[in-house]
Amino acid sequence: MSARLEAENLYKVFGRKQDQAVERLRQGTDRKELHAGGTTAAVIDASFTVEPGEIFVVMGLSGSGKSTLLRMLNGLLEPTAGHVRFGGEDLTEISGRRLREVRSRKISMVFQHFALFPHRSVRDNAAYGLEVQGVPRAERERRADEALALCGLAGWEKSWPDELSGGMQQRVGLARALATDADLLLMDESFSALDPLIRRDMQDQLIELQKTLKKTIVFITHDLNEAMRLGDRIAVMRDGRIVQIGTAQDILIRPANEYVASFTQDVDRSRVLTAGAVMETELRGDEADCACETATPATPFTELCAISTRVPHPVAVLDGDGDLVGVVPSRRLIGFLGDERGEAGTCDSPRDKGGEKVMSRA
């Protein structure tokens, strides 16, 4: 039931002579050059598609234009050039009134600093979107309470925002976004302002909810770990441009450039990688012909390590039909952890001769 979101060649320029600036950007003028002229290009030529039910994460450092990009998706900012299409409508073409209608019914948003209305109770905050839609009081309170319950806030309906902890406040923000039953959920660094532990909780809860709700979600973050945990696909932004779009493993294993690669250095690879990503596919064919433990391509990296220690030879990876698709030698596991793909060197010390033998087999 969710609809596909498409962004096509989006540009957002702040300052004077915006159309001219877009033209120059298209011709390859540098962003810094424009900036010297008093024009700031926040988003440059962003195109992507988000499939229904997908969590699409936009990742980038502050100032990379990710928040601007997000605000163009629901029309809070009008793109200088390009199109946003959602549910069969081009949001850049429709009237302001229609746009508000779309926002109130089809797109909702969760904010970094929660943006709860301090003069409304928790229930009234959650019901806000429905109130804007004009839903009668009894019904909107019922639906708001449901949304709150879904976010684990049953019993807090009559409290006030300032009585809640940060995590609970963001749950209210999430409940407010979910209460309208919008197809598209825009989340702007929604968990960044929370403590690390609470952030993990919220991430888990979002994943949990998504399993049943199947919303289309665009999630903004500057935290690659969070991006990789949540994102079905990730877009990495730098200086207003999208430099790479791909799955977490794509970005980790095949970074598009130095910048992305430097980004991925700090990532806890063991949480992201699976057997499918690390296995060698050059096969002899007999690697699985023993009774030893095997893995599947979806086996997480940490589990793969465990198997590898129990098995005396490289772990065989079998697909769903039991066919051999790859093998994972333990040296390769260590190499991925250290982000090192090179071959082992040699050592003069006789102490290490035995080891050389094992390695040569790999």
Partner 1 sequence: MPRIPLGDWVNEAVDWLLDHVAWLFDFLKTVFTGTYDGINAVLQAPEPLLLVGIFAVIAFWLRGTLAGVLTFLGFAFIVSMELWENAMITLALVLVATIIALVVAVPVGIWAARSDRVSGIVRPVLDFMQTLPAMIYLIPAILFFGTGASAGIVATLIFALAPGVRMTELGIRQVDKELVEAAEAFGTSPRNTLLRVQLPLALPTVMAGVNQVIMLGLSMAAIAGMVGTGGLGGDVNEAIGQLNVGLGSESGVAIVILAIYLDRMTSALGTQVSPLGRRAAAKARSTGGLKIWSYRPRPQVAVIGVVILALVAGGMGMFGGSGDTESVADGKNVGQGKKITLGYVPWDEGVASTFLWKEILEQRGYEAEAKQFDAGPLYTSLAQGDIDVVTNSWLPTTHEQYWKKYGDRLDDLGSWYDETSLELTVPAYMKDVNTLADLKGKADLFNGRITGIESSAGEMALLKSKVMGAYGLQDEYKVVDSSTPAMLAELKRAMSKKEPIVVTLWSPHWAYNDYDLKKLKDPKGAWGEGDGVHLLSRKGFAADDPTAARWMKDFKLTEKQLTSLEAEINKSGKGKQQEAVRTWLKANPGVVDKLAPVEGGSGATPAEAKRPLDVAWFPWEEDVAVTYLWKNVLERRGYKLNLKQMDVGPVYTGLATGDLDLNFDAWLPHAQKNYWDKHKNNLTDLGTWYEPTSLEIAVPSYVKDVKSLADLKGKADLFDGKIIGIEPGTGQMQLVKNDVMPAYGLQDEYEVVDGSTPAMLAELKRALAKKEPIAVTLWSPHWAYSEYELTKLKDPKKSFGANNTIHTISSKAFPEQYPQLTEWIKNFRMSEDELGTLEAEIKDRGQGHEEEAVAAWLEEHPGMVGRMTPQ
Confirm or reject binding of residue 301 to partner 1 (CB under 8 A): no
Of 11, 56, 86, 128, which lies in the binding site for partner 1, with binding defined by CB under 8 A? 128
Of 82, 129, 167, 326, which lies in the binding site for partner 1, with binding defined by CB under 8 A? 129
Site string for partner 1, 316-345 (x = CB under 8 A): ------------------------------
Q: By C-beta, is 76 or 209 nearer to partner 1?
A: 76
Q: How far is the CB of 141 from partner 1 (least distance, A)?
A: 16
Site string for partner 1, 139-178 (x = CB under 8 A): ---------------------x---------------x--
Q: How far is the CB of 136 from partner 1 (least distance, A)?
A: 17
Residue type, 61: L
Site string for partner 1, 99-118 (x = CB under 8 A): -xxxxxx-xxx-xxx-x-xx
Of 74, 169, 170, 294, which lies in the binding site for partner 1, with binding defined by CB under 8 A? 74
Q: How far is the CB of 237 from partner 1 (least distance, A)?
A: 20
Confirm or reject binding of residue 76 to partner 1 (CB under 8 A): yes
Confirm or reject binding of residue 83 to partner 1 (CB under 8 A): no
Quote the CA–CA distance of 185 and 54 in Å, as a whole number. 11
List contacts with partner 1 (CB under 8 A).
Answer: 74, 76, 100-105, 107-109, 111-113, 115, 117-119, 128-129, 132-133, 160, 176, 180, 186
